[in-house]
Structure 1
Amino acid sequence: MVSAIYRLPLIISLLAVGFYCVFLARQPWILRTVARRIRNLTLSELFAGKQTLGRMWSEPPDPMRTKYAEQLMQNFASRTGISSTDKEPTRYLWTDSFAVCNFLALNQPEQALATIDSVHRTLTRERSFNKFLGTASEDHPTLGGLRIGKKLNERQVNEHFDERLEWDRDGQYFHYLTKWMFALDQVAGKLDKPVLNVWARELAEVAHSKFVYSRSGMEKRMYWKMSVDLSRPLVASQGHHDPLDGMITAMQLQNSAEQLGVDKEGPMLENVVADYQSMIQRGDFATADPLGLGGLLLDAYRVFRLRICGREVISSSGTDARIATCKVLLEKLLQASLTGVKMFAEDFDAKEPAGRRLAFREIGLSRGLRVISSIRFSEEASGDGEKTSIEALIQLRTFDYLREEIESFWMNEKHQQSGTYKEHQDINDVMLATTLIPRGLLN
């Protein structure tokens, strides 16, 4: 009888808590308000160490997340012919670039190297696989660039341009090439394979020579998509972040070459960096596209990492000017990211059905938010002209709820059965694994 008396208040309390949780779930603005109220509490998390600038911090691995990501990557490797020799390899450059990084994060170096080998046996060659692209060879596989990996052949010279159909046609994308450069460089550093950095720099040089152009008396610009043999543009408009991506990637490759002791081998990229730098001076980086935002956040992280390594944007105005330029670039990237995340958050509907959403685009933002959270400033930096960047980072942390909502939504097996998810399963699975185990993107 006594136990029954105590049981009733307990049941009532549990029901009250349950109703309150349901209420909060239906009123996400309350959670966002609370997040903004506590943003100043995250300030201490952004300070670490006694260095003048700061350091990167990596979130401890979560066993459940790691196991889930490992299963995603195991299925991907089997499905696309990386770990299964009886299957025709189905390579796609963007997806494979992040797959390489995921295998590094999972401490599976053999799979990372097997992916690189499969990509180079497939996408550095013509669609018949019989001939290398351009002047590429076994010893220098990236000299002709890499195909996207689309199912349809590229548009021929005499074919009419169809904007919708162009998305499904092969060719070369600059922003896919930079992702492959990044992946090669990550493996070069983590597995002590310097030749991969040389291949990445060779790819950077050929991509710059084919995608960057200028007409007489006009500023330099970039093509968005080139033919498989890099002889003609397929889409002449410039990608929003392509010059920025090219500059930061080239800087990273040069920095890694020096650390790996191969800076005397392969091309030097100072002129490449300078060209891209001239193009971004007039650029506005802000975007509300979640995939573009994720890339922008990753770029901000890479600029921060380069500053810690002591490398700055190349300039002819002396060391002080170079440092200021890189500091300003980091501020611009963080501010643009913050502006974009705010715009995205205003329109984001977490209750939107899976069939009306694209997982890999949303997960791109989730990945960027997770990567940017690894930045830590030293206490000295708060008084050393870094306040704008620190404030932007603090505000970006208040949007961590977006990351959690996106990840939990797409980890739901019911949502993975939607047509939009299954249609792009390879890229969706790999991107989901990347945001769950981003260590492969970090140094």
Structure 2
Amino acid sequence: MPVTPVLTRRWNTPESWTIETYRRLDGYVALRTALAGDPDDLIKLIKDSGLRGRGGAGFPTGMKWGFIPQGDGKPHYLVINADEGEPGTCKDAPLMKADPHSLVEGIIIAAYAVRANRAFIYLRGELIHAGRRLRAAVAEAYAAGYLGRDILGSGFDLDLVVHSGAGAYICGEETALLDSLEGRRGQPRLRPPFPATHGLYASPTVVNNVETIATVPYIVNYGVDWFRTMGRERAPGPKIFSLSGHVTRPGQYEVPMGTTLRELLELAGGVRGGRALKAWTPGGSSTPMLTAEHLDAPLDFEGMQEAGSLLGTAALMIMDETTDMLRVVRRLTQFYAHESCGKCTPCREGTSWMVKILSRLERGQGDASDVDTLVDACDNIFGRAFCALADGATSPIVSGIKYFRDEFIPVSAVTSKPDPTPGGDAAGNGAPAPTPGAYAGAH
């Protein structure tokens, strides 16, 4: 299938992270074009392009920018969510390492559009090398006059700060991120009010993902019509997909939105060892798993919803026929139990008890009724918490039971009797303590 690198086109260039390489390959051309125009025209351009958020929700970017009230006398802020913590997701980290100036240029253009004079990159603390590259790129941009006072003689001022978080998955949620950025414990806020009017420091704030903002300079340079030649009508443009797990050539693949997993697997050399595909996630572990029946479903927001899942962060974790689905679900549930901030009772208590039940089933000591208990617990957790972490925690369980229910029922269930309490006694004895599951990278 044809692949046209856009966001990844500089990645293999020697010293791609330097300002010299970036400017040699059309870098900061879009910035001059943007600063010569009106901010409202920029917002309209992004709206017309159909660019949608690449961080998971897929909200129209131009519409989000348009929500920022103008002439309100308050400072406006732009915050970049670089807290890439969603299991299986590893697209933003290589982008920031290989081409940090594309993000910096996108930030300056976006800040100009929403009239923000201060911007922040909230970076996942573990991304040490990405942080070094970003800070070096910001310093280069200041030295070149792209940041600071009176940028390129336009009269527009912008300061950009790279802030490293402390490694909490919950800080990938935008309001928890804002609380953390303000120096408080990262916990989700009750909404409304929304960040567009009461965000960072109770002021109008735009929060966008790294990949979303890095796409902006290309739209400014090449236009709406060019951008819409890729992808589908309701989800245009290119997209970076992260393939991991049981795949021959794992890595980042940039293809048009709407590409199918079948096509991506062809690029990646197929399932490892020539085995059959058993299950996969379209957008990280917080999106419902799919099976080989969905190989030809379009990988975009609407296509995944029709298939019964979500595009999320486009992190495709591939699982072959040898995979123990009960073990996968138990490990993912442990991750969510560990990463729950504890603010909401359904999430704090529910995830912990679901780990105990899953652990007991994995040891072959459970009962068939435990599977129904898990489904019932997920039903009581979903939609009853401040943020989407609780909803995401139910996804592996509900989808795993939907497609692989037989693997959750122990062979001994016919003759065994269930323990009086899930996972042992009230102190949790008899069940392993929740520990973080393996993860590959962001929200």
Do these two structures clear the TM 0.5 threshold for a shared fold by scoring above it? no
Q: Which has the higher helix share?
A: 1
Q: Which has the higher strand share?
A: 2
Coarse TM-score class (shorter-chain normalised)? under 0.3
Q: TM-score, normalised by structure 1?
A: 0.27
